Structure formats: structure tokens, C-alpha cells
Amino acid sequence: MSSPQSSFAVRQADVTDIPRLAYHRAAMFRDMGQLASHQEETLERATASYMRDALPRGEYVAWVAEDNGTPPATIGGVGVQLRPILPRPRIGTDDLEFGPEAIVLNVYVERTWRRRGVAEALMRAVLNALAERGIRRIVLHASADGRRLYERLGFVPTHEMRLVSGELGQRRLRC
């Protein structure tokens, strides 16, 4: 009997994968109930535009999972945005962290391929690549469906808070 992962392979994405990665980003938000269907095409176009600049510069790095068909079909993907950070204390040590920080984004698997190890294989590829680059600060925003996987991989909840968009313009801040 073959293992579930033998039916797909993970590879680093290149510019030819941008249309599918952009589609996956819109589908991810749609599936989480955060994107209306009439907004999908607009988000896909904006995402592809961003990726056409960021991917070649190395500011955004992505991986895709493909089935073993002929030709292979993209069944999932994940991306990482690398961003500089101010130096900060490394918790639990006397060292400082200098960055860059990796924010994992756009973890998406086609519905028919879910619960077959694709997301875990994609995340392991990301974590291995980041470790090879010496990047130790890795963050993500977990959906309810993804939380168990991320916790199994070693991610822990943090104290992050977010200002809801539009709220700042509605109140006057006093300094």
C-alpha cells in the first residue's frame, strides 16, 4: 500500500505558479467566509500583481503541492512573506533577534485533497527551508481548521492584538 504523500509532491514555486497561488489565496478567504464571491477576481488580480514583484525579489517565497498526474495539477500551496524586524530580545536567552521574520500565509489545499497530509507536507517544506536560511522567527494566523496542525508543528498562541480596520479613523487619539 502506498503512503498518502506518494500521490503528491511538494516543490518550491516559481513565477509560473503565480496564477494558481493567487487563486488559492482568494479561495482560502472564501472558504473561511471572509470573501464574497464578487470580490474573488479582484483579490486574485491584486495578489498576482504583488507576487509578480515580490517573488523574484525573494520577499515572498512559496511552495506548491502537485498530484502525480500527467501533467501534474496543483492541489495546494503555501507562501512566506519575509520582512525585516527591529532587533529584539530572544525570549529565554541573552541573545538578540535580528530577523528577518517569516510570516506564513496562504496555506490552502483543494477541498478533495484535504485531510491527506498535503498541508502538513507544505508546512514541513516551509519550516525546513526557513531553518536552512537560519530564520528562527516564524509567525502565522491560524484558521480554526488549521490550528491543530500548527500546534502539532510547534506553533503556540501569542499575545498579538489587532486594531480593527476603520476604527482609527472613527476616534481621535490623544498623545
- Whether the pLDDT of residue 167 is over 90: the answer is no
Helix axes 18-31, 40-57, angle to 10 degrees: 130
User: Mean pLDDT in the chain?
Assistant: 91
2-43 pLDDT tens trace: 455 579 999 999 999 999 999 999 999 999 999 999 999 999
Any idea what DSSP says for residue 9?
E
Question: Do 100 and 85 meet the contact criterion of CB atoms below 8 Å apart?
Answer: yes
pLDDT for residue 2: 41
pLDDT for residue 160: 84
Q: How far apart are the first and last CA of the chain?
A: 66
Helices H / strands E in the chain, number of each: 5, 7
Any idea what DSSP says for residue 77?
E
Of 3-7, 121-125, 127-131, 139-143, give the lowest mean pLDDT range: 3-7
Query: Can you give the residue ranges of every domain in the chain?
Result: 4-170
Phi and psi for 36 in degrees, rounded to 5? -75, 150
Helix or strand holding residue 45 (H, E): helix 40-57
Question: Which DSSP string corresponds to 138-168?
Answer: EEE---TTTHHHHHHTT--------PPTTHH
pTM (2 d.p.): 0.88
Burial 69-93 (b: 16+ CB within 10 A, else e): eeeeebbbbbbbbbeeeeeeeeeee
- Whether the pLDDT of residue 110 is over 90: the answer is yes
The CATH homologous superfamily for domain 4-170 is: Gcn5-related N-acetyltransferase (GNAT) (3.40.630.30)
